[in-house]
Amino acid sequence: VLVFFVAIGMLAGSEGIGGINFDNPGNTQFIGIIALNFILFSGGFDTDYKLIKPIVKQGITLSTLGVFITAVSVGLFVWWVTDFTLYEGLLLGSIVSSTDSAAVFSVLRAKSLALKSNLRPLLELESGSNDPMAYVLTIVFTGLVINQDASLLSSVPLFFKQILIGGVLGFVFGKLSKIVINSIKLDYEGLYTVLVMAIMFFSFSATDFLGGNGFLAVYLCAVYLGNQELIHKKKIIKSFDGFAWLAQIVLFLTLGLLVFPSQVISVIGIGLVISAFLILVARPASVFISLHFFKINARSKWFISWVGLRGAVPIVFATYPLLAGADKAQMIFNIVFFISLTSVLVQGTSLPLIAKWLNLTLPQNVKKRTQTDME
C-alpha cells in the first residue's frame, strides 16, 4: 500500500503524467515531521507496557547500539566502494541506520502476523525509539560534511543533550497530559481527540525548542498515556490509528512527488549494492552484536534482522543534507530513496514467509491483540 502511494506521487510529479512541478525539500521535511508525529504517537499510544516491559533493555540496545553499528558499517562500506568521503559515507549510513516506524507498524499489523514470544512488541519498540539516534547521527554528520574542520568529539554532548532532554520531557508531558485530559470538561467527545493532538504537537515543539529530541518525547509521552485510564480512551486510540494511516499516505505521496525517477535510475547499480549490504550484512551484524548478551535464540535474531525495514523516515532524514547544501546531497537522497523502496518491497512483502520458514508464527486465534485491534 505504501509503495503504491509512492508510485502515485511519482506519476503525478514533474516527470510523470501529472506534470506537477514539486521540488521543495523544506516543505517535504515539514510534512514528514508532522506525519512522523502522528505515526510515532499512534504507535506509542497503542503500546501495552506489560508486553514491552520484559524486552525494554533489548529494545533500547537495538535502538541505540544497533543503530550506531549499522550507521558505521554502512558508512565504511560506502566509503570503500564509492568516491564518497568518509564523512559523506557515514552521513549516508546514519540516514538509513534506523528501522522505519511507519513501515514496521504497518507491515506487522496489516499482515496480521501472530509471532511467538515477544517479537512483535520488541520490533515495534525498536522502530518507535530508534529514530532519535539516527536523527542525531544525521545532524552530526551533516555538520561534519559541511564543515570538515569540525571535531567528531564535539558532537558527543549534542547526543546526550538530545536523548536526556527528550526522554525526561516525554515522561513529564505524559504525566501532565493525563491530568489535563481527565480534568478538563469538554462538551463534545470529539474534542478530546483534538486536545490529545494539541498535546502531541506541544510535546514535540517544546522539547525541540529546549534542545531535546522531539520524536523521542512524543513516543514516550504516547506510551505513558496509552497505559493510563483516560476519558474516551478507546475513541482516541481509534482516531489516531486513522490519523497515522492518513499521515503515512500523505507522506509517501509527497516523497513520490519530490523524487525524479530519471535521477533514481542513475543510482540503481550502487543502490542495489548498498541495499544488499545493509540487508544481508549490516543489519544482521548490528542485531547479533546488540543482542549477544540477551537470551534470544538465533532464529528470532535472524527474523529481527529481516525486519530492518527502511521506509519514509530515512527519506525525510535525507532532506537535511539537501537543505544544508551538502556536496552529493542529491545523490544521497536518490540512493536513500532506492534503498527504502527495495527494503519495503523485498523485506516487507516477505515477512510472513520468513516468519513461517523460521517457525516463529502462531495460530491467529492466540495472537496477542493491541488496543487498536480490539472493538
Identify which has the larger pLDDT, 54 or 100: 54
- At residue 128, does pLDDT exceed 90? no
| pLDDT tens digits along 341-350 | 888 888 888 8
Average pLDDT over residues 254-282: 89
- For residue 152, give the C-alpha cell: 567528531
pLDDT category, 371, cuts 50, 70, 90? low
User: What span, in angstroms and rounded, lies between the C-alpha atoms of 103 and 126?
Assistant: 12
Does the structure show a pLDDT above 60 at 18? yes
Gap between the Cα atoms of 247 and 188, Å rounded = 24
pLDDT, position 120: 81
pLDDT tens for 209-246 read 998 989 889 999 999 999 988 888 888 988 998 898 89
Distance CA 264, CA 266 (A): 5
pLDDT at 151: 67
Query: What integer pLDDT is reported at residue 150 of this predicted model?
Result: 64
- Amino acid 66 reads G
Q: What is the pTM (predicted TM-score) of this model?
A: 0.86
Separation of alpha carbons 64 and 132, rounded Å: 9
Distance CA(286)–CA(305), nearest Å, equals 8
Averaged over 190-213, what is the pLDDT? Answer: 93
Whole-Å CA distances, 1 to 7, 33, 252, 293, 347 = 10, 21, 10, 37, 14
Question: With pLDDT > 90 as the criterion, what percentage of the chain qualifies?
Answer: 34
118 has pLDDT over 60:
yes
Residue 364 has pLDDT above 80, yes or no: no
* Least confident segment among 99-103, 120-124, 147-151: 147-151
Asked if residue 364 lies in contact with residue 114, where contact means CB atoms within 8 angstroms, the answer is yes
**Per-residue pLDDT for 113 more than 80?**
no
Q: What is the mean pLDDT of the chain?
A: 86
Contact 73, 279 (CB under 8 A): no
* Average pLDDT rounded to a whole number, residues 110-128: 74
- Look at 79 and 263; give whichever has higher pLDDT: 79
Residue 363 pLDDT > 70:
no
Per-residue confidence band for 375, with pLDDT thresholds at 50, 70 and 90: very low
Assign 362 a pLDDT band (cuts: 50, 70, 90).
low
Pick the more confident residue, 151 or 273: 273
Mean pLDDT, residues 173-188: 91
Task: Write down the pLDDT at residue 70.
Answer: 95
The pLDDT of 49-68, averaged and rounded, is 89
pLDDT at residue 366, as a whole number: 53
